[in-house]
A and B are shown apart, each in its own frame.
Chain A
Amino acid sequence: MEMYAVLQCTWWLLLGILLIGLAAMVGMDMGVGTILRYVGRSDAERRVALNIIGPHWDGNQVWFILGGGAVFAAFPLIYATAFSGFYVVMLLLLWSMILRPLGFEYRSKLPSAGWRNAWDWALFVSGLVPMVVFGAAIGNLFRGVPFHFSWNLTSTYTGSFLGLLNPFAILCGLLSASMSVFMGAATVMNGATGAIYERARTLARLGALLAIVLFAVGGFWVHGMDGYVRVAGPGAGVAQTPLQQQVTLAAGAWLGNFRAQPLLWLLPALGFAGMLLGLAAASARCSHLAWWLGAVAWLGVIGTAGVALFPFLLPSSSVPAQSLTVWNASSSQHTLLWMAGFAAVFVPLILWYTSWAFYVMRGKVSAEDVAADEHAY
């Protein structure tokens, strides 16, 4: 039983790590897609921006796939309930995301300006929409989502598509998009020179500034928001269903964990510090440092959200007692243990070869290189 509770917490942490990986790695590529039309005025300039992430976007995207797979394997009820509940949003996310591989691979295969322009718009959509949805989804967790279960845990979602686009969710979506613009711009600065570099620098500073403001507003908002509190039911490490607990709502309850354990305030502090120092680093033209500070900001922001919600993962606004938590939505001990073993071996391996891939492809990309390389995007 204790082992099970430890594994549940381990997977909650691992999920956080995967989400941070997703936000930093996929977020930077999506940021490049979002700002592509602005940082690159001519076709040659846009191709420079695309080829900076050209060798990496495919590997980075797997953070997203792995995030989805980990939720499926470690928290199947979350995967089932969230993906079916957020149906229209998920499809918009999916449809915009599947444009991306094609945008990279097909855009520069034909010389037509109309063709390339159309794919540039596709890359813009597939950069911006998923990041807004990603943030909005996290935002909706704070508000709760209207769903409930039948006796055999068939979930039914009773809300509408528009209900998911409430003001707080939109705020979180914009926060996530701003951070991805910052990361994307820092990435472009890493690999570009001249006018492209300068435009990216402008956007990096804008992205960081917006993110600071939005994160602060969001924190203030959560402060007064109704949070969910578990008052009874089986706790950590007990096999259970979401039909066995009692949950109440209380104003400001999302800050309960921070009040109980003040050290946790370091997480939002880390978020602000990452963004502020990232802004300074971008201004000082230290783009690599700025990128890493952006990653620290993601750690702070996602950590803040996770800790605020803990142990909730997906609260139900219509039947709060059936809210999904780390304790009632996780996989069995056996599955969590095997998965933890695989993660312990492969996550470090992934980090190692990803670093090697970035090392091999290090340096600046120039328009001349792109034009000369028949493999370039």
Chain B
Amino acid sequence: MHDLHVVDLSRLQFALTALYHYLFVPLTLGLSFLLAAMETVYVTTGKEIYKRIVQFWGKLFLINFALGVATGLTMEFEFGTNWSFYSSFVGDIFGAPLAIEGLMAFFMESTFVGLMVFGWHRLKPGQHLAVTYLVALGSNLSALWILIANSFMQMPHGAHFNPATMRMELSSFTDLVFSPDAQAKFVHTSIAGYVTAAVFVAGVSAWYLLKRRHVDLARRSFRMAVLFGVLATAGVITLGDALGFVGGQAQPTKLAAMEGMWKSEQAPMPFNLVAFPSQREQANHGAIQVPYVLSLLVTHSLTGTVPGFDVLERQAATRIRDGIPAVAALQALSARPGDADALAQFRAHETDLGYGFLVQRYAPDVTRATDAQVAAAARDAIPQVAPVFWSFRVMVVLGLAMLAYFVLAVIYTMRNRVERKRWFLKLAVWMIPVPFLANEAGWLVAELGRQPWTVYGVLPTWMSASTHGVGYMVFSLVGFVALYTTFIAVEMYLMVRAIRRGPDEEHGTVPLGDSRQAALPAGYAEG
């Protein structure tokens, strides 16, 4: 039996480590492509300034990349260490995209990143450019496979439960890979990475322009970044809408949480611009509504409706009652593999197996579940609304703000006015944290909105964790907090230091106490 404190601590640990990892990943995704674009300009024009541009941003890329790789290791361990039941229950499906990510993407990215850094003197310009593109391709393919895995959790496609092995198994690899959720989510997420990189490069360049340092490099970088950024932001918003459309159909409870829909409404449904959802009262306070908009947003029509939590909770209760015989049949099959009656009973109810697990949290023997226990489990099927509702709004508002910022930036930079608008340059610097916040908010919407499930409708979160004591979880949490706090301090220090030093100087590879080497002229390597 699972200790529910352990489940909560496992969730906290996963959220902290994933959100932390996700601070570094989007910048890697976007900056790798921006580097490739910059290097393309270098190789086609042959202008040295672009080589310096690539090498400078490459240096910042690597400081970020190292921590992305390091914290990615944690994610691979964590499914096994903290979520062992999840791993064995859906590993047949979920493990495959993770392994393919290693085979197809991460290997390529990591092997070529070494050549990208060390290969400047050994590779011809065209070869080095190809290497840079392979790094970008690798990091983006990596995101693709990770998001295919994640989409299985959001919208389980191409899988079935096998009573002979007591776990979910893959029925169709192509259904898994071509899940509509995976497609929309990959494009939305990877482009969000491009936005992140564009804001970062534009912000750092703006800082140089404000300080009148490295003006040529900063001006060119700024222009490339904002052009890249305006297209990417438009793409993120479009795909975000598509993802909402796909996801809303697959996960009505997440959609209802994003919109704070406690009660089902008639078409055309109003949109809650602002509201303060109360989980206890199952209602919103202080809602400011815009008529018609919700129907347009989530159904792309004026006549469409989606269910609120009143309907969704009733549906969950029905499915829980239908899932109880499925769980009971499985228990019988575990004791007597191949029992024909139990198998028939399981087959009749298997679509609601996950809902049966939902009530097992309250009634270990599901056949004796009381009405109150079923009602409690049905109430659990509603995620915590306020954090999902607000994360979603934060993400959207920041996304729209970035779009406005990039549109202005493109106008100013195309008219060569940006250096005279000091307020805008200052704004650009202050924009740097914005995409990071939006990315984190997006993660929260996706993952908090899916609760109480790890695999939507299939496996409840409460069952997914490992059977540890609380002591283990506290031990690991303390360790991660200590290490990760140190890491981020070091990373930020090195990043800010590298930015302050700028592209022209040696960046701290000054050898210790060896005057002969220290006497070598700076920039020798580039000659």
Interface hit among A207-215, A291-299, A342-350: A342-350
- Binding site secondary structure of chain B: helix
Given contacts A69-B95, A101-B70, contact A55 B117 (CB under 8 A): yes
Query: Within the complex, what minimum Cβ distance (angstroms) separates A45 from chain B?
Result: 10
Q: Does A318 contact B (CB under 8 A)?
A: no
Tell me if B509 and A376 are in contact (CB < 8 A): yes
Residues of chain A contacted by B100 (CB below 8 angstroms): 73, 339, 342
Q: Would you call B99 and A339 a contact (CB within 8 A)?
A: yes
CA–CA, A212 and B107, complex, Å: 32
Q: B477-515, CB under 8 A of A: which get 1 and which 0? A: 001000100010011001001100000001111111110
A62 and B102 contact, CB distance less than 8 A = yes
User: B431-465: which residues lie under 8 A (CB-CB) from chain A?
Assistant: 463
**Is there an interface contact between A87 and B81, defined as CB atoms closer than 8 Å?**
yes
Considering the chains assembled together, what is the distance between the CA atoms of A374 and B98 in angstroms?
35
A302 to chain B, nearest CB (A): 19
A277 vs chain B, min Cβ distance (A): 29
Contact present for B508 and A87 (CB under 8 Å): no
Docked-complex contact A80 and B85, CB < 8 angstroms:
yes
In the bound complex, do residue B509 and residue A243 qualify as a contact, i.e. CB atoms below 8 Å apart? no
Interface check B111, CB cutoff 8 A: yes
Given A90-B81, A152-B330, A102–B487 Cβ distance below 8 Å?
Answer: yes
Within 8 A of B (CB), among A362-377: 367-368, 370-376
Q: Is the CB of A84 within 8 A of B80?
A: yes
Residues of B within 8 A of A338 (CB): 96, 170, 173
Name B174's closest neighbour in chain A (CB-CB). A338
- In the assembled complex, which residues on chain B have CB atoms less than 8 Å from the CB atom of A74? 95, 99
Interface footprint category on A: 35 or more
**CB–CB B490/A65 < 8 A:** no
A80 touches B91 (CB 8 A): yes
Kindly report which residue of chain A lies nearest to residue B115, judged by CB atoms.
A357
Given the interface pairs A44-B517, A105-B66, A106-B66, the reply to whether A72 lies near B98 with Cβ below 8 Å is yes
Chain B contacts with A in 170-200, Cβ cutoff 8 A: 170-171, 173
Which residues of B are found within 8 Å of A104, using beta-carbon distances? 66
For the complex with contacts A81-B88, A346-B103, 20 further pairs of A-B residues with Cβ separation under 8 Å are: A47-B511, A65-B76, A69-B99, A80-B91, A84-B467, A98-B483, A102-B487, A105-B63, A105-B65, A106-B490, A110-B494, A153-B85, A157-B467, A331-B169, A343-B103, A360-B123, A371-B518, A372-B525, A374-B55, A375-B525
- A residues near B, CB below 8 A? 42-44, 47, 51, 54-59, 61-62, 65-66, 68-70, 72-74, 76-77, 79-84, 87-88, 90-91, 94-95, 97-102, 104-106, 108-111, 113, 116, 151-157, 239-241, 243-244, 331-332, 334-335, 338-339, 342-343, 346-347, 350, 353-354, 357, 360-361, 367-368, 370-376
Q: Which B residues form the contact surface with A (CB < 8 A)?
A: 2, 55, 59, 62-63, 65-67, 69-74, 76-77, 79-82, 84-89, 91-96, 98-104, 106-108, 110-115, 117-123, 162, 164-167, 169-171, 173, 330-331, 334-335, 337, 463, 466-468, 472, 475-476, 479, 483, 487, 490-491, 494, 497-498, 506-514, 517-518, 520, 523-526
24 A-B Cβ contacts within 8 A?
Answer: A44-B512, A55-B118, A57-B114, A59-B111, A68-B77, A69-B103, A79-B79, A79-B80, A84-B466, A87-B81, A87-B476, A88-B475, A101-B66, A157-B467, A239-B162, A241-B164, A334-B169, A334-B173, A335-B93, A342-B100, A342-B103, A350-B107, A361-B119, A371-B520
